[in-house]
Amino acid sequence: MAELACWQVDAFTEEPFGGNPAAVVLLEHDPPEAWMQAVGAEMNLSETAFVRSRPDGEYGLRWFTPAAEVALCGHATLASAHMLWESGALAAGRAAVFHTKSGRLAASRNGVWIEMDFPALPVEEAPAPSGLLDALGAKARFVGKTRMDCLVELESEAAVRSLTPDFARLAAAEARGIIVTARSEREGADFVSRFFAPAVGIAEDPVTGSAHCALAPYWQARLGRAAMVGRQVSARGGIVRVEVRGDRVALGGRAVTVLRGTLVGLASAGAGAVAEASASVPASAATAKA
């Protein structure tokens, strides 16, 4: 494989070294899946996005954690759109349209913000998986599930911020990840959240766009409004604007490029090691992440 341009972009933040970092690789051809997984492990970020242009002017997009390919990722989609505009690969006034394992996703510019059109993920009340609340060390006001994640509402923002989960036990939960949330107690946000996904190699994700596809309809039902602001209160932290639009959710965020480089690894590099490592990834991880 020829040398490829790559970027590292901090998503859902306006300041470098905040928000959620994603690597973005601009492809010229379809590489072996094992090579993409090896690059994801080498980058060692919560997501590495692989973008390839299509003859129709739209883009194919796939996302890999260090351990598995995932079916939906908000922050790496935002980072990919930001990269296309910043690099000049896509004209500033055009929308970025991606074809993914979660269907067609689009991103457009709205001033300094990037707005993405994602599917809503309804939350249905469900019993807490065995050991989940003990692993979180928390008492829940509500427990529910989406098609990918568990969602747990706690009694306060302070309770969300103070969590110190047992990640080894959380990894056993039958879900892509665990969304923990509460109503915001501070100005500038309507609700807060954290996202834990040790089953796919991510103890805590800094800012999780796809989790807000569930948080938006969940908090719409409780707060009575479609447009809200979510604050993810991880160590890096970030802001996600949300608006529920029927069975879709608009996710808004900002992004900052922190690194531009050239990827020189051959397509065959690491394939054997990745194949061996993939055998140990839980089956549920194959449809994972944020």
Strand, helix or coil at 202?
strand
Half-sphere exposure of 280 (CA within 13 A, CB side): 8
248, 220 Cβ separation under 8 angstroms: no
Specify the pairing of strand 20-27 against strand 47-53: parallel
Strand, helix or coil at 215?
helix
Q: Which of 15, 33, 47, 58 is catalytic?
A: 47
Q: How far apart are CA 247 and CA 237, in angstroms?
A: 27
Could you give the residue ranges of the DSSP H alpha helices within the chain?
33-43, 74-87, 132-136, 157-161, 167-170, 212-223, 271-278
The phi and psi torsions of 51 (rounded to 5 degrees) equal -115, 130
- Quickly count: other Cβ atoms within 10 Å of residue 159's Cβ: 18
Query: Residue 14 catalytic?
Result: no
- Rounded to whole angstroms, what are the CA distances from 287 to 176, 241, 278? 7, 25, 14
The candidate with the shortest Cα–Cα distance to 232, out of 256, 211, 213, 201, is 211
Half-sphere exposure of 219 (CA within 13 A, CB side): 30
Q: How far apart are CA 155 and CA 166, in angstroms?
A: 20
CA R_g for the chain: 18
Q: What is the identity of the amino acid at 25?
A: V
Residues annotated catalytic, as ranges:
47
